[in-house]
């Protein structure tokens, strides 16, 4: 049996912001981009209160280190923006907000230049003469001793070479340009302008890696080899150098939990849908957290699903939660073929259809299924259908050495 022909989901081509929210099945979704991915205690407490007052109380953490409020009404949006502005959490214009698409390593310190480089990137991106870039075009600032963000979506990367110097990289290239911090902003602006001039933008969309893959490369950005991130690196809840990193089922929490965490200390938002409680030297005793690095829920990524998303064809998270104890590898449950929660290939992917779920092994949500028309009941009764390709890849085999160094 095959599924009936279904209407393809609408691809918006942009991400929600605070000033330009996106309508979903549970109301407006607002994305807040904290500077250097850090919320002060007063900002975090205020944000939790605003989620309660103006939204449905739920808070999402995105794969770019941003925070989303859900369930906001169109009538309440102007007052919410005013309150966010008072907290210093919105930009002056929607254009400035869209261009400030920056992901930073959450393990940054005051000495590693992350804050200074981030401020330079914000300044150069917000200038009037700055090139108009696609809304998904992003910059990753990854200035620790070893890279941790190379799996995170970005088009321009600021890293360190093997000697510790700042390295500007066009995503998709194995080499970059060594830069002094005083000249970083100029070189970054020139690289962004080159991307536009070289034809990287079509119909308002475009990514650096795609342009590079087509054989178009910028001059001077092939000098210094990049350090390569360990492909086995997997970040899990643990106490790291800058605080205690805790997780949440599906990267979502509520205003009460966020309030409890903010009362302990400032918060850093990670691109792994976790939070670091800055300065904490032990795991917080707060309900609603994942603090065990072997928790099976860490294997599961799932989008909002039906009814929270207007394009989702099935509920996703109840199924993900039911399957988690049986998993032997990462699982992505997607409400449609867009795969918003995990755009890259996953070891196992379940994609909602009008009649159930299709199963894809080692692929993206829009790839050809291995199995079709599985119901949630089928999957829960026979979770062995999703057995991982490596039977010994148990959750307790996750590599932790990277966490211990951060």
What's the average model confidence in pLDDT over 146-150? 95
- What's the CATH fold of domain 296-386? Sulfite Reductase Hemoprotein; domain 1 (3.30.413)
Please report the pLDDT score of residue 98 as a whole number. Answer: 82
Q: What is the DSSP letter of 202?
A: B
pLDDT band at 397, cuts 50/70/90? very low
- Rounded CA-CA distance 188/243 in Å is 31
Per-residue pLDDT at 172 exceeds 90: yes
Per-residue pLDDT at 4 exceeds 50: no
Residue 154: Cβ within 10 Å count: 25
**Residue 338 structure tokens:** 């867009």
pLDDT band at 127, cuts 50/70/90? confident
Q: Supply the pTM of this predicted model.
A: 0.89
Among 34, 11, 12, 17, smallest CA distance to 72 is for 17
Residue 151 or 126, more confident: 151
Please report the pLDDT score of residue 395 as a whole number. Answer: 36
List, for residues 57-84, the tens digit of each pLDDT value.
999 999 889 999 999 999 999 999 999 9
Per-residue pLDDT at 405 exceeds 50: no
Residue 266 and residue 39 in contact, taking contact as beta carbons nearer than 8 Å: yes
Domain 22-96+242-278 sits in CATH at 3.90.480.10
Please report the pLDDT score of residue 13 as a whole number. Answer: 55
Q: Name the residue ranges covered by the structural domains of the chain.
A: 22-96+242-278, 107-225, 296-386
The mean pLDDT value of the chain amounts to 90
Per-residue pLDDT at 403 exceeds 60: no
As a whole number of Å, the CA-based R_g of the chain is 21
181-197 and 114-126 helices cross at what angle (nearest 10)? 40
Query: What distance lies between CA 145 and its chain's CA centroid?
Result: 22
pLDDT band at 1, cuts 50/70/90? very low
Residue 279: Cβ within 10 Å count: 11
CA angle 15, 18, 21 (to 5 degrees): 55
List, for residues 289-337, the tens digit of each pLDDT value.
999 999 999 999 999 999 989 889 999 999 999 999 999 889 999 999 9
Among 131, 126, 125, smallest CA distance to 204 is for 131
């Amino acid at each position: 049996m095959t599924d009936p022909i279904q209407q393809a989901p609408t691809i918006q081509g942009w991400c929600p912001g605070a000033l330009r929210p996106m309508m979903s099945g549970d109301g407006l979704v607002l994305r807040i981009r904290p500077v250097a991915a850090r919320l002060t205690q007063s900002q975090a407490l205020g944000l939790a209160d605003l989620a309660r007052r103006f939204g449905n109380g739920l808070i999402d953490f995105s794969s770019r280190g941003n925070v989303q409020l859900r369930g906001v009404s169109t009538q309440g949006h102007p007052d919410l923006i005013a309150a966010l502005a008072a907290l210093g959490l919105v930009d002056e214009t929607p254009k400035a907000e869209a261009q400030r698409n920056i992901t930073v390593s959450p393990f940054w310190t005051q000495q590693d230049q992350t804050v200074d480089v981030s401020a330079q990137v914000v300044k150069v991106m917000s200038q009037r003469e700055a090139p108009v870039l696609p809304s998904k075009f992003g910059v990753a600032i990854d200035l620790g001793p070893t890279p941790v963000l190379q799996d995170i979506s970005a088009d321009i990367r600021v890293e360190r070479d093997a000697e510790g110097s700042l390295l500007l990289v066009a995503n998709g290239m194995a080499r970059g340009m060594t830069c002094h911090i005083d000249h970083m902003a100029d070189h970054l602006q020139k690289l962004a302008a080159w991307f536009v001039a070289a034809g990287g933008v079509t119909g308002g969309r475009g990514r650096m890696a795609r342009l590079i893959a087509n054989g178009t490369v910028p001059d001077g950005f092939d000098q210094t080899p990049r350090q390569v991130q360990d492909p086995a690196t997997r970040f899990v809840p643990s106490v790291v150098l800058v605080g205690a990193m805790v997780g949440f089922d599906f990267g979502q929490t509520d205003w009460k939990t966020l309030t409890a965490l903010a009362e302990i200390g400032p918060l850093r938002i990670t691109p792994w849908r976790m939070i670091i409680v800055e300065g904490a030297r032990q795991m917080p005793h707060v309900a609603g957290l994942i603090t065990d690095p072997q928790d099976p829920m860490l294997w599961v990524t799932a989008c909002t699903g039906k009814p929270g998303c207007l394009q989702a064809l099935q509920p996703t998270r109840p199924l993900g939660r039911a399957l988690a104890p049986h998993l032997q590898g990462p699982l992505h449950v997607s409400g449609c073929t867009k795969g918003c929660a995990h755009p890259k290939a996953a070891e196992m992917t379940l994609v909602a259809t009008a009649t159930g779920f299709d199963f894809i092994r080692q692929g993206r949500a829009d790839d050809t299924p291995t199995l079709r028309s599985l119901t949630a009941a089928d999957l829960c009764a026979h979770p062995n259908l999703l057995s991982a390709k490596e039977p010994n890849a148990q959750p307790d085999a996750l590599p932790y050495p990277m966490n211990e160094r951060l």
